[in-house]
Homo-oligomer: A and B are copies of this chain.
Amino acid sequence: MKKVYERNNIAFDMPSPYCPGCGHGVIHRLVIDAIKEAGQEDNTIFMAPVGCSILAYTYLDLDICQPAHGRTPAAATGIKRALPDSLVVLYQGDGDLAAIGTAEIIHAANRGENITAIFVNNAIYGMTGGQMAPTTLKGQKATTCPFGRSPEDGQGYPIRVCELLQSLGGVTYAARTSVHTAPNVLKTKKAIQTGIENQMEKKGFSIIEILSACPVNWGLSPQKSNEFIANEMIGYFPLGDFKKDGKIIQRSDH
């Protein structure tokens, strides 16, 4: 029999450094698959955030830069401006990108920095042990919203990042996908590939928001976590393209 699926050797020979069933593992693989297929292993600079995926460096055999919490888009800007022909891939969590790093992602997007942002929306702060994220759903519990997030009580609405960024001139591509089922994993890969192609074609800023499970901090099994994505998250965070080649594709409003 022929090997029809084999591990991507951009990853070191070890399991992912994440908890069992964590979406980061799948997404890491999709990113390195896309990089490999584009033949960019030796030209990629992977920007790790501060979040669980800070551990990417233990797993991925890529040049990696690890900047301060939330500031990855700024550091990526510095890198890309200095090395315009490198492939710069940002990888950020929802706390990193949509809370502390709000200004940095918006302005990098608005400048149309020619980079590709992978935004892992797991609706929680994984690394710090389960605090409310900007994307935590209404009613969802976390250590800092122990009674369930309540926008009406001033805890904020779950932020839809693609919708927020789509109005900015520098954004060429914005899409939301998920990795809760195999078909969605494949769609996510497509989206990541589009983001990377855009960069290679110097089209500007691409962002792929990916709904992803954090079984440990959701207090759910991996399977139940993926069901949570299907049943709860997608309703609020619709999947699909939001902007493509600089054109608005869909919206969702409050």
User: Interface on A for B, CB 8 Å cutoff?
Assistant: 81, 99-103, 106-107, 110-113, 134, 151, 154-160, 163-164, 167-171, 246, 248, 251, 253-254
Closest B residue to A169 using CB positions: B157
Chain copies in complex: 2
Q: How far is it, in angstroms, between the C-alpha of A238 and the C-alpha of B157 when the chains are bound? A: 27
Given A100-B103, A112-B157; 13 other pairs, CB 8 A cutoff: A102-B106, A106-B106, A110-B134, A111-B155, A112-B151, A112-B154, A157-B170, A158-B169, A163-B167, A167-B167, A168-B254, A246-B254, A248-B253
Contacts of A102 in B (CB 8 A): 102-103, 106-107
Q: How far is it, in angstroms, between the C-alpha of A101 and the C-alpha of B224 when the chains are bound? A: 39
Given that A102-B103, A248-B253 are known contacts, is A169 also in contact with B151, CB under 8 Å in the complex?
Answer: yes
Asked if A167 contacts B81 (CB within 8 A), the reply is no
Q: How far is it, in angstroms, between the C-alpha of A79 and the C-alpha of B120 when the chains are bound? A: 34
Least distance between A68 CB and chain B CB atoms (Å): 14
Asked if A113 contacts B154 (CB within 8 A), the reply is yes
- Pick the contact of A156: B101, B156, B159, B170 (CB < 8 A): B170
Closest B residue to A100 using CB positions: B103
What are 12 A-B contacts with C-beta separation under 8 Å? A81-B154, A101-B103, A102-B102, A110-B156, A113-B154, A156-B169, A158-B169, A164-B164, A167-B253, A167-B254, A171-B254, A248-B253
Secondary structure class of chain A's binding surface, majority of residues: loop
- Pick the contact of A160: B163, B167, B170, B254 (CB < 8 A): B167
Least distance between A142 CB and chain B CB atoms (Å): 16
Interface-central residue, A100, A134, A157, A158, by most chain B CB under 10 Å: A157
Least distance between A251 CB and chain B CB atoms (Å): 8
Least distance between A254 CB and chain B CB atoms (Å): 4
